[in-house]
Each structure stands twice: as structure tokens, then as C-alpha cells.
Amino acid sequence: MDVMTAFNGKIVFITGASSGIGEACAHSFAAAGASLLLAARRKDRLEKSATDLRRLGAPNVHLLQLDVTQPMAVAGAIAGLPEEWKAIEILINNAGLSRGLDKLYAGQIDDWEEMIDTNVKGLLYVTRAVVPGMVSRGRGHIVNIGSTAGEITYPGGAVYCATKAAERAISDGLRQDVLGTPVRVTSVDPGMVETEFSEVRFRGDTDRAAKVYQGLTPLKPADVADAILWATTRPAHVNIARISLTPIDQANSLLFNRKA
């Protein structure tokens, strides 16, 4: 398949599209000719990138201000799409975050709630709203953004890691539930990626966030977007169930090679 013309106006829906991996996916799929349905809480960030995405090759861009933690808002946004935007071909469930790095017994309950509401419930709400249409149309591909943190828990990250373990279970369960249909399900599980992730985790403490990446070369959002584009351009009879990718300086969520 020619990746540069792989989608030819087909609709790709990306949540959390205003930064990081979501924004990188928007750029990659624009260059592949996709029409982009982009959702984020920060619609102003989406609006700033829309012109560039059209210039890259997206024939159409439709923006949604959306908080995936609100089930009625999610259902209403999908049900209320203009007719020409309803036939979603690819869903990239990217919206997610981490908060804090406290020991579990000293953790902030509000942090737990936000991670669970976004990473688990938000994933479920969007999936529930979008996938029935894919099944009824007989085509579609769901890509859920997981993490190496869903494989091995690290100190101070119990709840975040649990949400990513839940993503893996949800992806595996959904793949079983759509068996017998042409709908595909992929979990893409990156290791360390240099995005706003650590700044969000540490609530804007840029110095602390910078230390996360100190002494090593992390993945870039474009690296993850490239893996997603590859997975979604395989022949229709091929389902890439899971992609795990890390920088060369990372073995898993516990082991890193930090240079002096």
C-alpha cells in the first residue's frame, strides 16, 4: 500500500490531538491523505494546527472540543457529527495522562480519579460511541495507546500503571468481541516519549520534568505516530495486535541507560 495515499479522504478520529502523540498522528495521517476528526479539551490548540494539516494533505479537518471523561458529552459529540463525518475509519484512542509520582499509601485521591477517568473510562466511552458504527459498516480499526507501564509497574506509578494494564485488557477483550467482523484492534505501547507527559504529571514543574529525560535519548511523538501509521496500513486480513516500542536507552519501564 502506498502510505502517501493510503487513506484518500477516509476519516481518522484522534483524541488528545492537541499535543504529543496525538498531534504527531494528525500530521502523519494528514500526509497520508486522511480527513481528520480531531478532539481535545484545548480546541484553540487544534485550531492553530488545522491550516498546517490541510497544507500537509488532509482534505478536510473537523475539530471537537471534548473531554473524554464526560460520557454524555462523548456520546453527544459522536451522535451529533455531520453526516459526512460519521463513517470513522480509524479511531486512535490517545487521550491520557499521569498525575504525581507518590507512593500508593501517600497518593492523592484526586490524581487517581483523574487518571482512571481519563485513561480507562474515557477510553471506554469513546470506544462505545464509535465502534458500533464500524461494526455495522463492516470496516474500521481501533488503535489504543498503551504503555510499557502496563507490562511492568514502577515505584510511585501504581495507579497509572494499573490504568495502562487496563488498556491492554480492554484492547484484548475488544479484539475478541469484534472477532467475525472486519474490524481490527491494535494496542501501541510506547516506552519513554518526550512530550508534555512529564510536565502534566508534575503539574508544570518543568525542571523536574526535564530530569526524566536527562542522560538518554527518548522516543519522539513522530516515532509512535509512524508505528501507528504502519499498523493501520497493513493488508485488510492482517491485524497487528500489539506494538511495544522503546528508545534504545530503555529496556522496560524500570531499566534505563543514563549517560553521565
User: Which sequence positions are flagged as catalytic?
Assistant: 160
> Helix or strand or coil: residue 132?
helix
Q: How far apart are the first and last CA of the chain?
A: 44
Across the beta sheet with 184-190, what order do the strands follow? 61-65, 35-40, 11-15, 88-93, 141-145, 184-190, 242-245
The Cα–Cα gap between 134 and 136 comes to 6
Burial of 70 (0-12, 13-18, 19+ CB in 10 A): middle
Q: Which of 6, 55, 15, 2 is nearest to 34 (CA)?
A: 6
Nearest by Cα to 37 from 85, 93, 95, 96: 85
**How far is Cα 138 from Cα 57, in angstroms, rounded to an integer?**
26
